[in-house]
Amino acid sequence: MATKSFVLKVWRQDGPDSPGTVEDLTEYAKDVNEHASFLEMLDLINERLMADGKRPIEFDSDCREGICGQCGCVVNGQAHGSQRGTTVCQLHMRSFEDGQTIVVEPFRATAFPVIKDLVVDRSAFDKIQQAGGYVSVPTGPKPDANSFKIGKEVSDRAFDAAACIGCGACVAACPNASASLFTGAKITQFALMPQGAPERKRRVSRMVETMDDLGFGHCSNIGECEAACPKEISLESIAIMKREYLKAMLAGS
């Protein structure tokens, strides 16, 4: 079994009102299986910390398959690490050099307050979606599949936007801590489909205004959000959101 050792430094913070600091955990990051995922490496570190009677590292995780978006953290200054289109749970230790320094921090944004260590409160995303990220459909028998004729190009674009897992990497990567890519993706997936038409004006105005009220920054088209997104959501979603918002404002909605 090939193993590697790392110079590991992890952000440690007891709570949102406590000062945080980077702790050197190099002594616990030795002989790590190079095929382990990043979260499996953190699991191993935690087992060793607890064996020494020390507090384990707090971090979010759930599916560990790159689907849920819960594993967000910053690895060596990049949200989810340097591997493009990859969540932290899909990042493997074989992508790091033996003896490499690894610095792990939480996502940094005013709207994402630190709860503990690498865990941040991302409920602001839930509030944006609750403000308008839904469609109203009548109940009753299942409609015929051909009731709405949607071209493949349009459906593919909508599906690409719907692939957003709400991990928050776009916010963490953006120098302005903007949530425009996330909000744009949620608006785009409905704006392109006929089912989303009835609420489109109300949806975009409510979601954009909620995003602003929650303290996210404004988009300045730097593009870091697209580069950090593990699902590679396109900046086109931001353009669609801005176009939809302008239409809603001109319509007085």
Structural domain ending residue among the three candidates 97, 116, 135: 116
Q: HSE, CB side, 13 Å, CA atoms: give it for residue 164.
A: 30
Average pLDDT in the chain: 94
pLDDT of residue 144: 73
Q: Is the pLDDT of residue 127 over 60?
A: yes
Co-location of 41 and 64 in the same domain: yes
Co-location of 110 and 126 in the same domain: no
Co-location of 137 and 242 in the same domain: yes
Structural domain ending residue among the three candidates 116, 133, 162: 116
Co-location of 101 and 149 in the same domain: no
Q: Is the pLDDT of residue 139 over 80?
A: no
Co-location of 143 and 43 in the same domain: no
CATH number of the domain encompassing residue 92: 3.10.20.30
Co-location of 129 and 104 in the same domain: no
Which residue did the predictor score with more confidence, 236 or 149?
A: 236
Mean pLDDT of 18-32: 96
Those residues with Cβ within 8 angstroms of residue 5's Cβ, 6 or more apart along the chain or in another chain:
29, 30, 31, 32, 98, 99
pLDDT of residue 247: 94
Mean pLDDT of 196-213: 94
pLDDT of residue 134: 82
Task: Read off the pLDDT band of 145 (50, 70, 90).
Answer: low
Co-location of 138 and 232 in the same domain: yes
Indicate the number of domains in the chain.
2
pLDDT of residue 123: 96
Co-location of 155 and 233 in the same domain: yes
Q: How does pLDDT run across 146-187, given as a tens digit for each residue?
A: 777 888 899 999 999 999 999 999 999 999 999 999 999 999
How are beta strands 78-79 and 74-75 bridged, if at all? antiparallel
Co-location of 175 and 220 in the same domain: yes
pLDDT of residue 252: 76
CA 186 vs. chain centroid, Å, equals 13
pLDDT of residue 253: 53
Co-location of 126 and 238 in the same domain: yes
Q: What is the DSSP letter of 58?
A: P
- Measure the CA angle with vertex 41, ends 28 and 24; round to 5°: 35
Compute the distance between CA of residue 162 and CA of residue 149 in angstroms, rounded to an integer.
19
Structural domain ending residue among the three candidates 88, 116, 144: 116
Rg of the chain over all Cα atoms, to the nearest angstrom: 21
> What Å distances lie between residue 34 and 3, 4, 24, 92, CA to CA?
5, 6, 20, 7
Co-location of 21 and 62 in the same domain: yes
**Tokens, residue 210:** 């909620």
Q: How does pLDDT run across 105-116, given as a tens digit for each residue?
A: 999 999 999 999
Q: Is the pLDDT of residue 78 over 90?
A: yes
Domain containing 127 equals 122-250
Q: Are 79 and 61 in contact (CB under 8 A)?
A: no
Co-location of 166 and 210 in the same domain: yes
